[in-house]
Amino acid sequence: MTKLNRTISIAPMLDWTDRHDRYFLRLISSKALLYTEMVTTGAILHGDETRHLKFDPAEQPVALQLGGSNPTDLAKCTKIADGYGYQEVNLNVGCPSDRVQNGRFGACLMAEPETVANCVRAMKEVTDLPVTVKNRIGIDDLDSYDHLVNFIGTVKEAGCETFIIHARKAWLTGLSPKENRTVPPLDYPRVYQLKKDFPELEIIINGGIQTLDEIDEHLTHVDGVMIGREAYQNPYFLAQIDGRYYGVSDDTPERKQIVDEMLPYIEREMEKGVPLKSITRHMLGLFQSLPGARAWRRHISENAHLKGAELNVLTDAAAKIR
């Protein structure tokens, strides 16, 4: 199996990185690794499996992020995901929301490295796909470097070779999930030190990364960089990724061309009953910083949700860009 290139990846973001967003982002970068939103094991095993797991082949390479803490359930979902054609299965050990904690998964699992190891072991037994872990640098008072090293070492012994590390601790009480993405201070050097202490592992850094210069600096210390909110709020930021980090010719389409390339996809999806607003909401940041960007966003926001909204909402909005 060809090694998956994780030099640049786009973070799994709940309510954001759905299949429509991934199709859109793939038009901007053909190489960055894309992740699904977190999908819980319960949603797959007891819900609409196809709705949660199906994706357009044009999205590849794409990885699935699972949420859960039961090794048997995670193994079942990993085997199912393998059949859908994902390139990787990732275990969420970083989300701090109350709902996730109540389900005993996400960031609270950083207090249970053996549980995470058992999950990874079970997942790896049913697939040849890479099984990776996305975690924080700590939680609550379990935030010492020694605790992080013990967590990584324990899960590594279960066969995990790639860790995606959000360089912030998480507070499981007192902060909302949104605050947990900004309030705890970033500690990039701690992630760099992990790479020094575990040189055999692939270490991907995540958290607050917004510029190409920042990516360049991180790549002198770790193996890859995962971009979160910047890729969503300013998606055309990814236009330089392929040429700069993958050595492919810079043939990224212009922004208005991307709008044109989205139209056939949107038309197909609307014929299946998908509302226009479900897709266009991911495109609001496409013209960020350009004259007319505000008018673009406003026109879509005011019209895409209306009954009978059609593709001309997008083309009319794009005409406002000067």
CATH number at residue 303: 1.20.120.1460
> In the listed set 202, 228, 246, which residue is the last one of a domain according to the structure?
246
Question: Within this chain, do residues 24 and 159 fall inside the same structural domain, yes or no?
Answer: yes
Q: Is residue 164 part of a domain?
A: yes
Say yes or no: 20 and 154 in one domain: yes
How far apart are alpha carbons 74 and 256 in whole angstroms?
Answer: 42
Q: Which residue type is seen at 228?
A: G
Same-domain status, 213 and 271: no
Domain membership of residue 199 (yes or no) is yes
Q: Quick one: pLDDT at residue 1?
A: 59
Q: Judge whether 60 lies within some domain.
A: yes
Single out the catalytic residue among 95, 108, 119, 160. Answer: 95
Q: Are residues 234 and 268 in the same domain?
A: no
Rg, C-alpha atoms of the chain: 20
- State whether 309 and 163 are in the same domain: no
Overall pTM surpassing 0.85 (yes/no): yes
Which residue has 């940041």 as its token pair?
285
Q: Say whether both 19 and 69 belong to one domain.
A: yes
DSSP assignment letter at 30: S
| Structural element, H or E, at residue 49 | helix 49-53
End-of-domain residue from the set 246, 264, 298: 246
- Given 182, 216, 246, which residue is the final one in a domain? 246
Q: Is residue 176 part of a domain?
A: yes
| 95 labelled catalytic | yes
Same domain? 277 vs 306: yes
Residue 190: helix, strand or coil by DSSP?
helix
Q: Which CATH number is 24's domain given?
A: 3.20.20.70
In single-letter form, the type of residue at position 162 comes to T
Query: Do 80 and 155 fall into the same domain?
Result: yes
Residue 240, phi then psi, degrees to nearest 5: -95, 0
Number of domains in the chain: 2
Q: Is residue 3 part of a domain?
A: no
Domain assignment present for 2: no
Nearest to 187 by CA among 172, 166, 170: 166
Same domain, residue pair 140 and 162 = yes
Residue 297 sits in the same domain as residue 151: no
Q: SS3 of 9, please?
A: strand
Residue 271 and residue 168 share a domain: no
Residue 71 exposure: Cα atoms within 13 Å on the Cβ side: 13
pLDDT of residue 312: 96
Find, among 92, 24, 25, the residue nearest to 8 by Cα.
Answer: 25
Q: Which amino acid is at 69?
A: S
d(CA 146, CA 225): 23
Task: Give the residue numbers spanning the domain of 187.
Answer: 8-246
Residue 1 lies in a domain: no
Per-residue pLDDT of the chain (322 residues; tens, 9 = 90+): 578 999 999 999 999 999 999 999 999 999 999 999 999 999 999 999 999 999 999 999 999 999 999 999 999 999 999 999 999 999 999 988 876 666 778 999 999 999 999 999 999 999 999 999 999 999 999 999 999 999 999 999 999 999 999 999 999 888 888 888 888 999 999 999 999 999 999 999 999 999 999 999 999 999 999 999 999 999 999 999 999 999 987 677 899 999 999 999 999 999 999 999 999 999 999 999 999 999 999 999 999 999 999 999 999 999 999 8
305 and 219 in a common domain:
no
Q: Is 139 strand, coil or helix? A: strand
